[in-house]
């Protein structure tokens, strides 16, 4: 049953919808590891909208804004982690080191008996950000995506709602 899928895409590319369709096509217990934190009202609305969209579809939601690796280690069945990008932003916000956290997630992926699908943004296809923090985030995201893609059995890139298999 184990296996790791990484779904990449830009903002509003359809990557989360595609990942959920992959997950819901399987008749397993499903755990949704949510990484978002509601730092403002707009984000609280987004989180509520996502929860409602999953309602009644057999998902158990686990909130893990800073440690999805621990949540993955506790889960069984199929696990969807959405999203790596938000998680990295949380780590930066809370001033936590990113590289060791990504390595811990990769270790949890390697040890997992669950089928895992991760969602992450591809942020390196645009202009170079104008400030140091945004450039650091872009770089950390790109490095994390490379590490997670190497750990994944299959990788999809979703553009304009169309998934393209790029690995596996």
Residue pointed to by tokens 């304009």: 160
**Closest residue by Cα to residue 160 from 17, 60, 56:** 17
* 93 counts as catalytic: no
Half-sphere exposure of 69 (CA within 13 A, CB side): 15
Kindly name the residue from 46, 50, 73, 147 that is annotated as catalytic. Answer: 50
Joined together, the tokens standing for residue 114 give: 């669950």
The SS3 of residue 51 is: helix
Question: Which strands sit side by side in the sheet containing 78-82, from one edge to the other?
Answer: 59-63, 30-34, 78-82, 115-121, 3-9, 154-159, 162-167
Q: Would you name the residues annotated as active-site residues?
A: 50
């Amino acid at each position: 049953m184990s296996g790791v899928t990484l779904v990449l895409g830009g903002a509003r590319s359809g990557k989360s919808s595609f990942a959920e369709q992959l997950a819901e096509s399987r008749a397993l217990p499903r755990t949704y590891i949510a990484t978002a934190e509601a730092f403002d009202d707009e984000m609280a609305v987004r989180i509520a909208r996502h929860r409602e969209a999953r309602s009644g579809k057999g998902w158990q939601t686990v909130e893990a804004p800073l440690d999805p690796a621990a949540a993955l280690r506790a889960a069984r069945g199929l696990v969807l982690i959405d999203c790596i990008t938000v998680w990295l932003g949380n780590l930066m916000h809370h001033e936590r080191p990113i590289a060791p956290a990504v390595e811990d997630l990769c270790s949890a992926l390697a040890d997992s008996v669950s089928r895992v699908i991760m969602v992450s943004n591809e942020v390196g296809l645009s202009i170079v950000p104008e400030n140091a923090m945004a450039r650091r985030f872009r770089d950390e995201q790109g490095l994390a995506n490379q590490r997670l893609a190497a750990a994944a059995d299959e990788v999809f890139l979703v553009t304009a709602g169309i998934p393209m298999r790029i690995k596996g």
